[in-house]
Structure 1
């Protein structure tokens, strides 16, 4: 009787652990194929070397970006819809929190697909591997 109760307790504990691990399965792989269109902006100079929401330091020369919901570490193809130029960025921050804007790009990512002097560009984003 005691051995059966121990087996049931062990099985219950294992099922509990398995349930906990699956509750936190939000990975960038879950979002592959997600697309969105809107405006992109870029980080101002005051953000250089400041911590992002993921804990990384923001660096102008890295191809990184902020998105409101995509998981940190997601690779996102950002395409300027006016000229067709694209760049791949890694999500490591949250934002932008301005209506109509869907992504904040690092300065180097923005400049590789658009002119910094415009401040905003129309883009389509797609999560890729």
Structure 2
């Protein structure tokens, strides 16, 4: 496709997830592996076990979508792939990597399917960060941030139908089980992060600081708690919001 220059008019969010260059990320593949079947109809993808939901409703969410472009083009995403601003991928704070998601622009009704391969956006109220191409196809590249609804479709596999290979989705899967924590704040000054970390450590378990370098700027992200269920993490984040941390939100642990 022709590479439009419209992305220069929109600022990408600076709150991208830091990347840990460990071995399994270096060998991560950009294609989705077929889930390996286990007892009880559960299945494993990239070493993590997922369990079918009793309801076929799956995971849906409403909030704001944003997009990120040239500044991140070619950099490693959180699952070890190279970010391609002309692809159809996205960042989400908690959905498992390689989950396919349908995104609907609530302003114009346009829809697109993207694959989760990154973490973010780390701004309260925003639920998904899209590539430039995905944002363009949704008609939101100029606006930058728009209200959307997302629906998790599941993991993709190829299936032959009427003599043709088509993409089908393995759903439903549980997006509630995993490793989650709560991000309470992000700072460019290390001392501010250390003060908040010390305060949280006196009240809560598992307070940590995650360092993320974005070019010439470094961010210190303060996180607290450890949860195995997303609803527990979200409930804890709401309690923190009611106290002194209005921007707290749940995120998948790194």
Which has a greater percent of strand?
2
Q: Does the alignment pair 1:36 with 2:68?
A: no
| C-alpha RMSD over aligned residues | 2.4
- Could you say which residue in structure 2 is the equivalent of 1:24? 48
Which has a greater percent of helix?
1
Which fold has the larger relative contact order, with Cα–Cα distance below 8 Å and residues 6 or more apart in sequence? Answer: 1
Instruction: State which of 59, 62, 73 in structure 1 corresponds to 2:84.
Output: 59
Deviation at 1:32, TM superposition (A): 7.3
Q: How many residue pairs get matched? A: 109
* CA offset digits 1:90-115 (Å, max 9, x no partner): 00000000010000001100110123
SS of equivalent to 2:151: strand
TM-score by length of 2: 0.40
Gaps of 5+ in 1: 1-17
* CA offset digits 1:18-60 (Å, max 9, x no partner): 9xx9893048x77972000000000131100000000010001
Say whether the 8 Å CA contact 1:77–1:89 is kept in structure 2: yes
TM-score by length of 1: 0.77
CA distance in 1, matches of 2:148, 2:87: 19
CA change 1:32–1:92 in 2 (3 A) is farther
Moved over 6 A (4+): 29-32
Gaps of 5+ in 2: 1-38, 154-168, 170-254
Find the structure with the greater CA-based Rg: 1
